């Protein structure tokens, strides 16, 4: 395998990892920000209060977008196998 092909496969892997993780990270960050603002406004400093809403948000994102995430990963895997066959 040439160095250019290895770099291209690495770039595809990093790009797909970014695309797949963004919905989950975005939901977790948004819920965390909302809970932090609520804690600041009410002066409740309970650290365990953020855990349950984040888990619920992540489960909701996986339920809504899980099919797309799996399709994306399967497409990348098939593309990777095609690349490896030719090299």
pLDDT digits (tens, 9 = 90+) for 2-44: 888 889 889 999 999 999 999 999 999 999 999 989 988 988 8
Q: Residue 64: exposed, middle, or buried by beta-carbon count in 10 A (0-12, 13-18, 19+)?
A: exposed
26: nearest Cα among 52, 76, 65:
65
Residue 47 pLDDT greater than 80, yes or no: no
Q: Which residue range(s) make up the domain with 52? A: 3-86
Q: Mean pLDDT of all residues in the chain?
A: 90
Lowest-confidence pick of 47-51, 62-66, 69-73: 47-51
Q: What is the pLDDT of residue 86?
A: 75
Please list, in sequence order, all residues whose beta carbon lies within 8 angstroms of the beta carbon of residue 69, skipping any fewer than 6 positions away: 20, 23, 62
Number of domains forming the structure of the chain: 1
Q: Retrieve residue 27's tokens.
A: 């939901």
pLDDT > 80? residue 1: no
pLDDT for residue 87 = 67
Whole-model pTM?
A: 0.77
């Amino acid at each position: 395998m040439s160095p250019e092909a290895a770099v291209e496969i690495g770039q595809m892997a990093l790009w797909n990892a970014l695309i797949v993780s963004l919905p989950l990270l975005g939901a977790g960050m948004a819920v965390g920000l909302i809970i932090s603002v609520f804690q600041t406004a009410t002066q409740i400093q309970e650290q365990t209060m953020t855990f349950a809403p984040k888990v619920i948000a992540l489960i909701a994102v996986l339920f809504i977008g899980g099919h797309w995430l799996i399709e994306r990963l399967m497409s990348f895997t098939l593309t990777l196998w095609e690349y490896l066959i030719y090299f």
